[in-house]
Every structure is written in C-alpha cells, then in structure tokens.
Amino acid sequence: MVDEHVRERVLDAADRLYYARGIQSVGMDELRLVSGVSLKGLYGVFPSKAAIVLEVLDRRHALWTHGVTERVARETAPREKLLAIYDFLADWFLDDTFRGCGFINAFAELGSIAPAVAQRAREHKAGFQEYVARLVAAAGADPALAPQLSILAEGAQTTAAIAGTGEAAGHARRAAGILIDAAMPA
C-alpha cells in the first residue's frame, strides 16, 4: 500500500528542486534529504527517478490546465476568453519561483535521452493547442488563429524565463489582440 503522504512529500520536493535547478542536477540523495523520506521509503513509492520526473510533469500539467481554464472561465466574451490566456501568463510570470515552462525545461534537458519525458512534453503542448483551438472555434474565428495564439504563449514563456521579467505577457497579449481582431468574423 502506497503512503499518499510520503508520495506527496516526495513529489512536492522533487517539483521544487527540479523546477529551480534542473532534473539532472538533483540526485536521489538530495531528494531524500529535502523530502524527509528515507531512500528505502522513496523507492518504496517510486521505482525510479524517471517515474518521479513523469509524475512531477503530470502534476505540472494539471496545475497549468487548472490555472489557464480557471482564468479563461472568468471571462464571458469570446475575445476576452482568448486574451485571458495571456493574463494568466502575466500573473504566473510575476511569481518569484517562475523559471519558465517546466515542460520546455524538461524537454530541453532530457528530451533527447528520455523518450517518455519528450512524449509528456509533446502531449502537454498538444493539449494546450487543442484547448486554444476549442476557444477559437467557440469564438467563430478562423481556425488558423489557434496555432498562432499558442505560439505567442509559448514564446512569451520562454522570453519571460530568459529575460527574468514578465513584460513578455503584455507584448504577447497585445499581439494576440491584433491577431484575434483580424481572425474574428465581422
């Protein structure tokens, strides 16, 4: 029987450490120390570091999905729903712990050597693109708008992480507004 409290402690610690410093730089001994779970207990819950990484990514996916959909749901007008994606990003970029997209980071670090990590990153990005496509369809806009808005969001995340400032969300929001206005029915 898996102790859910132990599982959550390990995942919380792994998420914080991996996101702050990278996956490969964090060893199992450090994860054991930070989580307060013995190495035996850690391996009793997770068969490998790879299993921990995939669960951390699954949690990040759930957090992202909840955050974006909750922010979009606050709006009623289709145009504002699309722009709310960038409002979510603006809030996220201001968080002191923001270090970019965990999926982009994990893919950059492990994508070429860990096919399961690359697959999770692809699934996450595809899920976001599908969500944006549904919002675009509900707005009655040209379907070509969806990948354009997705790319703006992805670029904003990378730019904000590298620049260390949240300004990219505002730039992306303004560009999205122009694209949305051009793609919306008259």
Give the chain's domain count. 2
Tens digit of each residue's pLDDT (9 = 90 or more) over 128-138 = 999 999 999 99
Residues 122 and 166 in one domain: yes
Residues 62 and 140 in one domain: yes
CB 53 within 8 A of CB 150: no
Tens digit of each residue's pLDDT (9 = 90 or more) over 80-122 = 999 999 999 999 999 999 999 999 999 999 999 999 999 999 9
Residue 185: pLDDT band (50, 70, 90) is confident
Residues 81 and 43 in one domain: no
CATH number of the domain within which 23 lies: 1.10.10.60
pLDDT at 50 over 90: yes
What whole-number distance in Å separates Cα of residue 176 and Cα of residue 75? 16
- The 8-class DSSP code of residue 16 comes to H
Residue 70: predicted pLDDT: 98
Average pLDDT of the chain to the nearest whole number:
96
Confidence (pTM):
0.94
pLDDT at 1 over 60: no
Residues 127 and 59 in one domain: yes
Determine the structural domain holding residue 30 and report its residue range. 1-47
Residue 101: predicted pLDDT: 97
- The 8-class DSSP code of residue 155 comes to H
pLDDT at 142 over 60: yes
The percent of residues in the chain predicted with pLDDT above 70, rounded, is: 99
Tens digit of each residue's pLDDT (9 = 90 or more) over 8-27 = 999 999 999 999 999 999 99
How far is Cα of residue 27 from the mean position of the Cα atoms in its chain?
23
Residues 72 and 146 in one domain: yes
Residues 3 and 60 in one domain: no
CATH number of the domain within which 89 lies: 1.10.357.10
Could you tell me which of 63, 61, 51, 45 has the C-alpha nearest to residue 23?
Answer: 51
- Average pLDDT, stretch 39-53? 94
Residues 58 and 43 in one domain: no
Residues 162 and 73 in one domain: yes
pLDDT at 2 over 70: no
Structure tokens, 74:
């606050």
Residue 3: predicted pLDDT: 85
Residues 89 and 163 in one domain: yes
What whole-number distance in Å separates Cα of residue 85 and Cα of residue 169? 9
Residues 129 and 88 in one domain: yes
What whole-number distance in Å separates Cα of residue 122 and Cα of residue 100? 16
- Rounded to the nearest 5 percent, the helix, strand and coil shares of the chain are 75, 0, 25
What whole-number distance in Å separates Cα of residue 141 and Cα of residue 138? 8
Three-state SS annotation for 87-153? HHHHHHHCCCCCCCCHHHHHHHHHCCCCHHHHHHHHHHHHHHHHHHHHHHHHHCCCCCHHHHHHHHH
